[in-house]
Structure 1
Amino acid sequence: MSKAAPGPIRTGIGGWVFPAWRGGTFYPAGLPQREELAHASRQLGCIEINSTFYRAQKPAVYAQWREQTPPGFRFSAKAPRTITQRHDLAEAGARAEGFIDGICALGDRLGPLVWQFADRHPGAAADFDRFLDALPKKAHGCPLQHALEVRNPAAWTPELVAVARAHGAALVYSGSSDYPSFADPTADFIYARLMQSRANLRAGYPERTLEQWCLRAMRWARGEDNPDLPHVAADAKPGAPREVYVLFIGAAKHRNPGAAVALRKQLEGVGGK
């Protein structure tokens, strides 16, 4: 019996409008701003939409973005803070419906929805259980991928891991020294937000570090774990192949496209993409 093929690995960045990426740093000199998304989506596998954290767009705007990107590309999106920054999550499901209904205009370009909770948000696993239970698993006939970015260190318990697994939601690996960074696999996809790019390196990270992330991404895609990364629970077992997202966010932002492109090339070089 043949072994299942690994899941797809998509590398990416947060947003696509940033002046420091122009003039040859990432975008070719003279490229019109209206063509930046089309260019970026052909160099990368995913872009995280950050603006939705502050204000959702109209469905027509999402549809325009969809048309500018190639098949196989994905947008992830941060859910509105008006939902995730409320201490009481009891009404979050109902409040999320409008956001989800609109962003589904991205169609098959829609990837994970990232629900980011502040570092002082109450951390009871039961609250996240009710929150995930209220979120739809499908919208407009398309399955939804939900990822929780939990920034309260006290919330990271074995119970949280169990809740995420029960709902098939991913727990975001932050790759940051400022926020909890645990790599417990809990879903059929992995969402890593790496936040330590260095300004003095063209690719943001040392080559050896990117090689490590290349190997980690491939292990995740095969359904394996990465025991070298911190975990909350020690019961991760090999499973089915997973879809993997590795995004370079924040820190030395002008280096993030270089990091994402460099990692993508490494993956292509070893047959991992």
Structure 2
Amino acid sequence: MSRAVYIGTAGWSVPREHGAMFPDTGTHLQRYAAQLSAVEINSSFYRPHQPQTYRRWAESVPSTFRFSVKIPKLITHVQRLQNCEALLDEFLAQCTQLGDKLGCLLIQLPPSLAYDAEVAAGFFRMLRQRYEGSVVLEPRHETWRAANGLLIEQRIARVAADPSPITGGGVASGWSGVRYWRLHGSPRIYYSDYELSRLQVLAAQIQASVRAGAETWCVFDNTAGGFATGNALSLQALLKPSV
């Protein structure tokens, strides 16, 4: 399988227990990128980063490495996708300094944000007027199950999240050109480890996604207990014979 598969964690820390798997020298990001193919930048959700910071990150990783960048909470949680043109322009001016190493934008919505077709369509149209690359959505209100048609129209994939408060939210949907698994840890969110049997199932799903021709991502967000890095390395090892 030659299609792109991007595996990584939320943030690029290298836990001590996995340090031997990574180079001894370089920045944390350089060490991380020597072993894993992608990272999810969550800090952009909380605060802006200078354009030169994104450029520096891009310059420090291999040509095949990709970043997924989380859209700011000022857009998703404060403005709730409305009246946010200036905020979106500011964010894109920053993160697009990653150049061709910007692989994906992640939109994570608050649990309180119900699906409003007019608001959602307006926001996605505004985004697509400014950005043509891969976009994935992680909604957390049950009503977003009705958005599938709009997501396909706007070429936006819905994240396969674990756990997900949405019925069927553990299955990727929306636009099929991108498939993005986001593993938060279960049963204890952010803390639980994923057993080998679960990673083997996940590897099979990823292989199917690649065979279908989709750009395929898997990000482990179970970082609080230190398991994300080990899970990402294990999944990558399971996939090596076929990707």
TM-score scaled by length of structure 1? 0.79
Paired position in structure 1 for 2:201:
212
Deviation at 1:252, TM superposition (A): 5.0
Deviation at 1:211, TM superposition (A): 1.2
Q: Which residues of 2 match residues 19-98 of structure 1 at below 5 A? A: 21-23=14-16, 25-28=17-20, 31=24, 35-86=27-78, 88-98=80-90
Deviation at 1:186, TM superposition (A): 1.4
Deviation at 1:111, TM superposition (A): 1.2
Deviation at 1:136, TM superposition (A): 3.4
Structure 1 position 196 matched with structure 2 position 192: no
Query: Is there any run of 5+ residues in structure 1 with no aligned partner, and where?
Result: 224-240
Deviation at 1:130, TM superposition (A): 1.2
Deviation at 1:183, TM superposition (A): 2.1
3-state SS, counterpart of residue 161 of structure 1: helix
Q: Which residues of 2 match residues 193-272 of structure 1 at below 5 A? A: 193-196=182-185, 204-223=193-212, 241-250=213-222, 252-269=224-241, 271=242
Deviation at 1:248, TM superposition (A): 0.7
Structure 1 position 101 matched with structure 2 position 93: yes
Deviation at 1:68, TM superposition (A): 1.1
Q: Give the percent of matched residue pairs that are identical in Structure 1 and Structure 2.
A: 25
Deviation at 1:191, TM superposition (A): 1.4
3-state SS, counterpart of residue 62 of structure 1: helix
Structure 1 contact 196–252 (Cα < 8 Å) conserved: no
Larger radius of gyration: 1
Alignment: residue pair count = 237
Select 1:164's aligned residue among 121, 143, 151: 151
Structure 1 position 150 matched with structure 2 position 159: no
User: In structure 1, what residue type is equivalent to 2:163?
Assistant: S
Deviation at 1:80, TM superposition (A): 0.6
Q: Distance in 2 between matches of 1:252 and 1:198?
A: 13
3-state SS, counterpart of residue 56 of structure 1: coil
3-state SS, counterpart of residue 115 of structure 1: strand
Q: Distance in 1 between matches of 2:140 and 2:129?
A: 23
Q: Distance in 2 between matches of 1:69 and 1:6?
A: 21
CA offsets 1:17-71 (integer angstroms, 9 cap, x no match): 3xxx443x12349956x62111111211110001000111001111111111101
CA offsets 1:181-237 (integer angstroms, 9 cap, x no match): 3422414111110122689xxx932222111111100111122xxxxxxxxxxxxxx
Deviation at 1:145, TM superposition (A): 1.5
Note the aligned Cα RMSD (angstroms).
2.4
CA offsets 1:215-272 (integer angstroms, 9 cap, x no match): 100111122xxxxxxxxxxxxxxxxx11100111136540111111111111112x1x
User: In structure 2, what residue type is equivalent to 1:268?
Assistant: K
Paired position in structure 2 for 1:9:
5
Q: Distance in 2 between matches of 1:53 and 1:214?
A: 28
Paired position in structure 1 for 2:105:
113
Q: Decide which structure has greater helix share.
A: 2
Deviation at 1:87, TM superposition (A): 5.2
3-state SS, counterpart of residue 43 of structure 1: coil
